[in-house]
């Protein structure tokens, strides 16, 4: 279950927010097994963001988390697509968009815990 947290300096409309969520889901789908229907997105807009000690009127930080290790070229392809989506939809210059990716081995969802490298033969 991928999770994307967006921190956006300027305020966006609900319509733009939905387009952004849909576009980032499509961008994420370049990574095998990452389906937009299972992606959670948190959008925070109208924030006071600072870069280099100076307040930014138009800046975006995207923090992406998911389970599994992916190849460099997939992460690069996703990053480029995500940044382009943000740029096209809300106009933020590419050099004012930052993105991090954190990959996890284990997670809890739908009331259970799973680990990418451990299989429990005993089911409750």
User: Tens digits of per-residue pLDDT, 47-61?
Assistant: 999 999 999 999 999
In a domain, 82, yes or no: yes
In a domain, 120, yes or no: no
Spatial distance between the Cα atoms of 36 and 100, rounded to a whole number of angstroms: 18
In a domain, 23, yes or no: yes
In a domain, 83, yes or no: yes
In a domain, 123, yes or no: no
Q: Which residues is 40 bridged to in the sheet? A: 3
Containing structural domain, residue 58: 3-115
In a domain, 91, yes or no: yes
How many residues are present in the chain? 124
pLDDT for 92 beyond 60: yes
- Of 113 and 6, more confident: 6
pTM: predicted TM-score of the whole model, two decimal places: 0.90
CA-closest candidate to residue 11, choices 52, 54, 58:
58
At residue 96 the predicted structure's pLDDT band, cuts being 50, 70 and 90, is very high
User: Tens digits of per-residue pLDDT, 9-31?
Assistant: 999 999 999 999 999 999 999 99
Spatial distance between the Cα atoms of 85 and 106, rounded to a whole number of angstroms: 29
In a domain, 40, yes or no: yes
The CATH number for 50's domain is: 3.30.429.10
Q: How many structural domains comprise the chain?
A: 1
| Sequence-ordered list of residues with C-beta below 8 angstroms from that of 121, at least 6 positions apart, any chain | none
């Amino acid at each position: 279950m991928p999770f994307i947290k967006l921190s956006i300096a300027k305020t966006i409309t609900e319509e733009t927010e939905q387009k952004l969520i849909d576009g980032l889901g499509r961008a994420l789908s370049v990574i095998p097994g990452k389906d937009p229907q299972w992606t959670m997105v948190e959008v925070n807009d109208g924030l006071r963001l600072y870069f280099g000690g100076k307040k930014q009127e138009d800046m975006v930080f995207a923090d992406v988390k998911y389970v599994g290790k992916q190849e460099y070229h997939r992460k690069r392809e996703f990053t480029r697509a995500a940044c382009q989506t943000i740029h096209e939809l809300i106009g933020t210059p590419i050099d004012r968009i930052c993105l991090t990716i954190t990959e996890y081995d284990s997670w809890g969802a739908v009331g259970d815990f799973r680990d990418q490298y451990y299989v429990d033969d005993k089911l409750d």
